[in-house]
Each structure stands twice: as structure tokens, then as C-alpha cells.
Amino acid sequence: MSRRAVLLFAALGLAWGVPYLLIKVAVEELAPSVLVLARTGLGAALLLPLVLLSPASRRAVPDLLRRWPALGVYSVLEIVGPWLFLTRAEQELPSSTAALLISAVPVVGVLVAPLFRRAERLGARGWAGLALGSAGVATLVGLDVAGSDLGAVGEVALVVVGYAVGPAILTRWLGDLPGPVVVTGSLLVSALFYVPVVALGPGLPDAVPSAAALASVAALAVVCTAAAFLLLFALVGEVGPVRATAVVYVNPVVAVLAGAVLLDERVTAFTVAGSALVLVGSVLVTRRAPAAAAAPATA
């Protein structure tokens, strides 16, 4: 990698590793739906001017609007559902556990690929990765999560499925459109969805949240949403989409360290063992031979 690529990779790993910590802090004072509305609304507000200032992005907007069913489905699977379920789950689970469970997304992605005519031959290494990833999740859920938290684990499972299916929708029906246009559109759709949800549900807070909660919301929107997506697009342009996906192996490590250092979250031997199994399994499942990886990266 070039020096620029290394810096982009490190920055994106940090930006997508700290949301679990920030959600844990903010959800202590804000209802989950309010937090998601704030994150999506602010993120969209930050990205929209960039889309409008780019001639290429402006030209793609009418095409995106014509594909509104695909945009709607993608938004529900990638943002509307997952961000709410994840926020709700973190009311019960440590932020590090949530991050480690979500690191199983590459494994689930391989399993759902045949539904979108993207089935791949796993080979012995791929099947070994699936087995290790499943064993890691079983270790985290069976040995490192209290029985009272199984409902939260179920919500994280829904997040994992959404994160695994969403990219398949994106690739098949929206993949030819500029990334910033699709992301901004999905954030706008999600924010508009949550306006009536918040209005008819918990409503806005009666009192001004603490500085820590407000800072967490701002960081989620600015760093973990708007800036993170821009970093992702820059990293894909630098190293290609295949190599850029390796950032998913960094996020859980950042989340565990942040939770342990800043929130005093417990890190047990089962946490270490389960996370190692999940990460190794994900690497084996998503690893490609050099010749096979070159074609998608070039495309």
C-alpha cells in the first residue's frame, strides 16, 4: 500500500471502530430512535452539499430517484433497521461484544450470496472459515453473554443479516451509481422515516442532553457517518474494493480496546477466544486468490 492508502485505512478503521463506544454513551440519555434520527439527519446534511456541488453526482440523482424501490430496500436493510437494533442492543450488551458479533457479517454475506446469484465456491479454506466464524459467535453468545441479554443478541443478529444483504442489493441494483449519491440518498430516506417515528413515539428529550451525549451524537454523524463514507470512497479509489474490505477486521479490535479503556468493559478469555475465531473465520471466508481478486478490483 502507498502511504496515503495506509493513512486512509487506519482512519477508516478508527472511524468505524468507535461508533459502538459512542452509541453506548449516547443511548444512556437518548432514546434509540432519537439517536438514529440525529445521526442520519446530520450525516445527510453534511453529505448533501458535496453531492450538489459535484456535476457527476448531480447528474446521477434523477437515475437514483427512478430506482427508488431499490434505494428504499437498501436503506431499510443497511440503516433504518440495523442502526435502531444496534442502538437498542447496546442498552444491554457491552459495546465490544456488539462489535465482535457484527464482525461475523462477512461470514453471513457468503451464506446469503446464492440468493442474489452471487454464489461462490468456498473450497476447504472457505468452509473452514465458516466453521471457525460460527464457533466464534457460539463462544461469544454461549460463554460470554448473560442469559438475560439473549434478546439483545437477537437484535444484533438482525443487524448482521441486514449488513450482509444490504451490499448485495447495492451491488445488483445501485452499483453503477456514484457512492456518495447512494449513501446520501439512503441517509435522507432513513432520516425521513424516523421523523414520524420519533414524533409519535418518544419525542425529543425534555432536557438538553449532557455534553458527553451531544459530543457522541456529533461524532457519530460527522466522523462515523459522513467522514467515514468519504474515507471509504477514497480508500476504494486507492486500493480497489476487494482490498478495502479488509478494514472490517480492524473495527472490532478498535471497539474492544475503546470499550475496555474508556468504559471499563470486561474483557474475558472467552471474549478473546471468540473474537479471534470470528476474525480468523471472516478472513478465511473472504480471502481470494490473487487472480480472482484482481478482476473485481479492476472493475
Q: Where do the domains of the chain lie?
A: 3-106+153-270+293-297
CA separation for the pair 296, 120 (Å, rounded): 13
pLDDT recorded at residue 297: 31
Q: What is the pLDDT of residue 198?
A: 97
Task: Give the pLDDT confidence score for residue 277 in this predicted structure.
Answer: 85
pLDDT attached to residue 122: 64
Compute mean pLDDT per 10 residues along the chain, 299 residues long, and list them. 83 92 96 97 96 95 96 96 96 89 80 70 75 79 70 93 89 90 96 97 93 97 94 83 68 86 87 82 63 33
Burial bucket for residue 88 (CB in 10 Å: 0-12, 13-18, 19+): buried
Q: Which DSSP string do the residues of 63-127 spell out, in sequence order?
A: HHHHTHHHHHHHHIIIIIHHHHHHHHHTTTS-HHHHHHHHTTHHHHHHHHGGGGT-----HHHHH
Q: Nearest to residue 105, comparing CAs of 299, 269, 245?
A: 245
CB atoms within 10 A of CB 6: 12
Residue showing cell 437515475: 63
Q: What is the pLDDT of residue 120?
A: 57
Q: Report the alpha-carbon distance of residue 84 to residue 156 in Å, rounded.
A: 10
The model's pTM is 0.86
C-alpha cell at 34: 432519537
Predicted local confidence at residue 114, as pLDDT? 77
Please tell me the distance from the alpha carbon of residue 266 to that of residue 96, in angstroms, as a whole number: 9
